[in-house]
Structure 1
Amino acid sequence: MRRTLAVLLLLTACSTPAPPRSAAPSPRPPEPATLAAPTGEHPVGTTVLHLTDASRPDPWNLDAKARELRVTLWYPSGRGEGGRAAYMSPRESELTLAGSRAASVPPDILSRTVVHATTDAPAKGRFPLVVLSPGFTKPVSSLTSLAEDLASRGYVVAGVDHTYESPATTLADGAVAECLACDSDTDPGFGTGVVANRAADVSFVLDELLAGKPALIDPTRIAMAGHSIGGASALAAMAADKRVDAGVNLDGTTYARLPRGLARPVLFVGTPEHAPGGRDPSWDRDWTLLTGWKRWLVVTGADHQSFTDLPQLQGALDLKPPPGAPSAARLAEITRAYVAAFLDEHLKSRPQPLWKGPSARYPEVELGS
């Protein structure tokens, strides 16, 4: 109103009309993100499996007498067949963004994220298996960049959506399961219960994959990696299932205690808060229980989501990176390089120079112990 009155007074006082002001340009809508391209030699195929464990009820949905899981496979494939895979569905994007800091962007923006795998492409060869588990409230698609890269390097990757632990998991009948566990995370013993449930999920997934995909997966070479509580679940799965030969914990507090003398290889990768003697004492506690090959890495400038796809999605979500953080491309490069080096060392018996000491190529990475 004040601007309108001022313009009227100006027009009255002047003998010639004032030139009209140009309208402020409308803000451009954000562009969908494109994930970093895989770096390995293999094209990447992907498919979705819906698995039902009738031996146990669902821990979150008390009306479900069986545990239903959605598993996304990424794998080395042949060329030229299949359409471009989707990062997630529009409905999954809408539910994932609801209530987030990015709720003002188009609700389907995540479904338009450009990935590099093709759907249902023919499999090619027999490879080690890596199980991926996401952070709490996150879908396994949040680890797509890492999954695609590992598949391109010669791994079958099985990403598990732990149903009812994230805002949107599409089930076999097309229904979308929302997060029933999200209002329970302050309950006593919550973290310990989650990692135990996830360890059970992983053992069931291994049973199903090794029975159904024998030509694609080498059952003697299996690892698990996860972010946040998914990383804690990798260690819990190792403790519960001897088929898991090695584990990677990406910045996850380890809620459940490990058995003393766990001798299989373990990699910790974390933020400065997870430095030895830092704010999270669980890594210091568990470090002393590990008696096999182990490494503890700290990435300078990283935050909790740095090891997921989020840095690559920030532009599309109209979010700003944390001050002092490495670029999204750099964080993806670091995460991929060290996880792949760990897996190549322990699943493919290929010694890796990254473990000899600090790397001039990755000065952001400090050896924590």
Structure 2
Amino acid sequence: MVAGSALAGGALLLTGGGIARAAVREQVREQAREQAADAVALRLPAPTGPHPVGATTLYLVDPSRRDPWDPSLPVREVMVTVLYPAAQADGDGCPIAPQMTPGTASVFAQVAPLTNPQLPNAGVDWAATMTHAHAGAPAQAVRRPVVIYSPGGGDPRTLGTYVAEELASQGHVVVSIDHPGDAGAVQFPVTTSYRSECIRTTVFRENPRTRPDVYRTAIAARLADIRFVLNQLELLAAGRNPDAADRPLPQHLPRALDLARVGIYGHSAGGTAAAQAAYDDRRIRAVVNLEGYLDYPPDQPGEPGPLFPVARYGVNRPMLLLGTDGFRNADIDRSWSAMLAHPNRRTSRRQIDDAMHWVFSDFAAMVPQLQADGLMTAEGRDQMVGALGPGCSVAMVREYVLAFFERNLSGT
């Protein structure tokens, strides 16, 4: 992987004597300061709901599973972000949380242009983007619907912030999952005896849809991660702290989770996993699939791939299939049509026009800013998010997702 090689190369520069290492470190810091001073800082759209938003992260370890991507790891580690309605907008020790940590932002800057060549290789300070959530703020001691989010393949969980913050500001608890080995970069709070680095990068070298074996492993891992996170949320709601590093929880957070009202949404591979998770797990009452395939890639090119069980047999809970005109293709149409054909009529399909696949991620707001700053072409913007302006696209995606969950998770 190019990003991993670049990081390893940087580490090798610092292996000389103490004086040399100090000089090199200072030179690297100075170069980073100069680059940051000239780099563009991107902004996320503010949530519109009545509640201030709090944020915390959980480090969760499943000892019952080996890692599916790295056989040297004897457990499965997962990182999640929890956004929730906060009891206060600010306060001592509750600063605004960044979208990405400096470590994950550094890796993202290298990985993102490889998966999306339209993005600039330089000129963006990815670590400077701030959310609108207050880290560690006390939660409102009111039971709220819980919504799980699974991001697109190779994406960090934080690339879904604009929708997650909107849901939290409107009265939902949103739990965004990183799937390590799949996500571009995941930062853990501690090292362990079996993992010497805090940051873990993706194993993907190409689009997983081009490799049926890799794609099957990715979706299976996501499904197991979702089940595990749901189990850990049950511990949290019961008053236990599931964080494997025993980091403190925000005040009243366990009282904010109403696990009788659980929904799930996901983008791309996350949408695939969200739909299948709803089929597998009765705890999930409603699901939004943001442009995720509902079939496996075929073993032989040119043949239709087998449908996921959720598309083959249907599900008796509400599902929204939300797509764009720019990403619509034969595989999406075939697998979604199979889902819609089931007689229970609990599945609906909607489409956003003049839009493209990444409009469901924070790129919907970021990419137009990059174009305005001369760091992307109009063609590159259209290939990623379409011509629809962020004032419309962000509002439309938020409204579709919010209205669906408010309609289907409002009861007890």
Could you state the TM-score of these two structures normalised by the residue count of structure 1?
0.82
1:220-253 CA-partner distances (Å, limit 9, x unpaired): 1000000000000001111111101111000111
Change (3 A) 1:184 1:275: closer
Write out aligned runs for 1:118-267 (5 A): 118-124=134-140, 125-173=142-190, 175-182=198-205, 185=208, 186-214=210-238, 215-255=255-295, 256-258=308-310, 260-267=313-320
Residue in 1 aligned with 2:66?
57
Q: Following the alignment from structure 1 to structure 2, what is the Cα–Cα distance between the partners of residues 168 and 146?
A: 20
Is 2:168–2:174's contact at 8 Å kept on the other side of the alignment?
Answer: yes
Larger CA deviation: 255-264 vs 234-243: 255-264
Greater CA drift, 213-222 or 184-193: 184-193
Choose from 391, 394, 406 the match for 1:332: 394
Counterpart amino acid of residue 179 in structure 2: H
Distance 1:34 1:270 in 2: 24
Deviations 1:203-230 (A, max 9, x none): 1101101211342211110000000000
Alignment check: 8 A CA contact 1:36 1:329 kept:
no
User: For the residues of structure 2 that align with 1:274 and 1:73, how far apart are their CA atoms?
Assistant: 30
How much does 1:276 deviate? 9.1
Amino acid of the residue matched to residue 180 of structure 2? T
CA drift of 1:291 comes to 2.2
Match of 2:252 in 1: none
In structure 2, the partner of 1:359 is none
Question: What fraction of aligned residue pairs are identical, expressed as a percent?
Answer: 31
Distance 1:290 1:134, change over 3 A: farther
Distance 1:276 1:264, change over 3 A: farther
Q: 1:326 to 1:290 in 2, by over 3 A?
A: farther
1:292-307 superposed matches below 5 A: 292-307=345-360
Task: Tell me the equivalent position of 1:343.
Answer: 405
Return the alpha-carbon distance in structure 2 between the equivalents of residues 192 and 235 of structure 1.
15
Flag the 1:176–1:335 CA change in 2: closer, same or farther, 3 A: same
The superposition leaves residues 85-126 of structure 1 with CA deviations (integer Å, 9 ceiling, x where unpaired) of: 01101221121121504343246x111112100100000021
- The aligned counterpart of 2:104 is 92
Distance 1:252 1:246, change over 3 A: same
Q: Does 1:67 align with 2:76?
A: yes
Contact 2:266/2:289, CA 8 A, preserved across alignment: yes
For 1:281, the aligned partner's letter is R
Q: Which residue of 1 aligns with 2:382?
A: 322
Distance, in Å, in 2 between the alignment partners of 1:171 and 1:248 is: 28
Q: Deviations over 1:306-336 (max 9, x none)?
A: 1110021122482242186211221110010
SS in 2 for 1:267: strand
Give deviations 1:123-173, integer Å, cap 9, x for gaps: 002100000000001001110010010000000000000011122100131
Distance in 1 between residues matched to 2:309 and 2:273, nearest whole Å: 11
Residue aligning to 2:246: none
Alignment match, 2:323: 270
Deviation at 1:199, TM superposition (A): 1.2
Q: Is the Cα contact below 8 Å between 2:182 and 2:203 reproduced in 1?
A: yes
* Change beyond 3 A, Cα 1:343–1:103: same
- The aligned amino acid for 1:110 is W
Q: Secondary structure at the match of 1:115?
A: strand
Q: Is this contact kept in 1: 2:54–2:84, CA < 8 A?
A: yes
Larger Rg: 1
Q: 1:289 to 1:171 in 2, by over 3 A?
A: farther
Sort the Cα spacing of 1:290 and 1:85 in 2 relative to 1 into closer, same or farther, 3 A: farther
Segments of structure 1 that go 5 or more residues without pairing to the other structure are 1-27, 351-369
**1:283 counterpart = 2:336:** yes
- Secondary structure of the equivalent of 1:253? coil
Which structure has the highest helix share of the two?
A: 2
| Pair 1:117-2:179 in alignment | no
Residues 326, 355 of structure 2: 8 Å contact kept: no
In the comparison of the two structures, how many residue pairs are matched? 322
How much has 1:181 moved relative to structure 2? 3.8
The CA RMSD over aligned residues, in Å, is 2.2
Contact residue 277 and residue 284 of structure 1 kept, 8 A = no
Unaligned 5+ runs, structure 2:
1-36, 192-197, 239-254, 296-307
1:312 aligns with 2:328: no
1:283-303 deviations in whole A, cap 9, x for unaligned?
A: 112222472422100111110
2:293 and 2:331 in contact (8 A); partners too: no
Distance 1:261 1:168, change over 3 A: closer
Which has the higher mean CA deviation after the structures are superposed, 316-325 or 242-251?
A: 316-325
